[in-house]
């Protein structure tokens, strides 16, 4: 059986709820631990989809694994193998598609709303979800929308929160969060949570996290359900 490859770029930024979703669907998957030195596959043999999680690095950093990852993404897009990117992963997808990744005017860290950029494509991916959604954020950079892709989501401080191109989905925001994952990120924050209008405290991010992530998973389920339909 072909499997979904899930790329982890930092030990504390694993697949979270996305792994739960795949397990519930009985979809075979394997974790590629870039942070632990796992090699980037050289081909798509035996692979049904590629998923990229977040990470504290930039896609513009001179890291040795970034060129083979973007090459693999380009091959997947050409071969119509679905690609899904979360935050850094969405930026990797955008970079592979030729769209620049730049510093966002502000850092967004915490629970903030995004709005649906209405279009037929947006409703294919988001179904009957409301036009404003509260999702989780942790980023200081942002992608541009690749050529031929459609912008799906925007926020007041980051215009490009999600895009789709065929079977491929790039997210700037995080829909994979669980309470445990949020707690891990807060613990690893290392000075990133200096008070700002768009940066919440660890206490605020963890407040009522069970309810907030349950609502977030409605958004995740809708996006993931459409994405897995493209798997071979």
Mean pLDDT by 10 residues, the chain (232 residues): 95 98 98 98 97 98 98 98 98 98 98 98 98 98 98 98 98 98 96 95 97 98 98 88
Q: Count of domains in the chain?
A: 1
- Can you give the chain as a three-state secondary structure string? CCEEEEEECCCCCCCCHHHHHHHHCCCCEEEEEHHHCCCCCCCCCCEEEEEECCCCCCCCCCCCCHHHHHHHHHHHHHHCCCEEEECHHHHHHHHHCCCCEEEEEEEEEEEEEEEECCCHHHHHHHCCCCCEEEEEEEEEEEECCCCCCEEEEEECCEEEEEEEECCEEEECCECCCCHHHHHHHHHCCCCCCCCECCECCHHHHHCCHHHHHHHHHHHHHHHHHHHHCCCC
pLDDT for res 190: 87
Provide the residue range defining the domain that includes 18: 3-228
pTM over 0.85: yes
Q: Domain holding 220: CATH number?
A: 3.40.50.880
């Amino acid at each position: 059986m072909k499997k979904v490859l899930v790329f982890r770029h930092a030990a504390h930024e694993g697949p979270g709820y996305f792994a739960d979703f795949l397990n519930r669907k009985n979809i075979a998957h394997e974790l590629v631990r870039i942070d632990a030195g796992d090699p980037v596959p050289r081909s798509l043999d035996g692979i049904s989809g590629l998923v990229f999680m977040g990470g504290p690095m930039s896609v513009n950093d001179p890291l040795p694994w970034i060129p083979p990852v973007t090459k693999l993404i380009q091959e997947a897009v050409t071969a119509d193998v679905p690609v899904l990117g979360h935050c850094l992963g969405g930026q990797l997808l955008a970079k592979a598609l030729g769209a620049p990744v730049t510093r966002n005017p502000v850092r967004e860290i915490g629970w903030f709303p995004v709005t649906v950029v209405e279009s037929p494509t947006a409703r294919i991916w988001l179904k009957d979800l409301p036009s404003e959604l509260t999702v989780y954020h942790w980023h200081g950079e942002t992608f541009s929308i690749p050529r031929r892709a459609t912008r799906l989501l925007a926020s007041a401080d980051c215009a490009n929160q999600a895009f789709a191109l065929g079977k491929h989905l790039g997210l700037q925001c995080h829909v994979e969060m669980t309470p445990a994952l949020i707690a891990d990120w807060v613990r690893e924050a290392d000075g990133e949570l200096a008070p700002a209008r768009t940066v919440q405290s660890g206490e605020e991010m963890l407040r009522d996290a069970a309810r907030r992530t349950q609502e977030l998973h409605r958004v995740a389920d809708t996006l993931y359900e459409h994405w897995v339909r493209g798997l071979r």
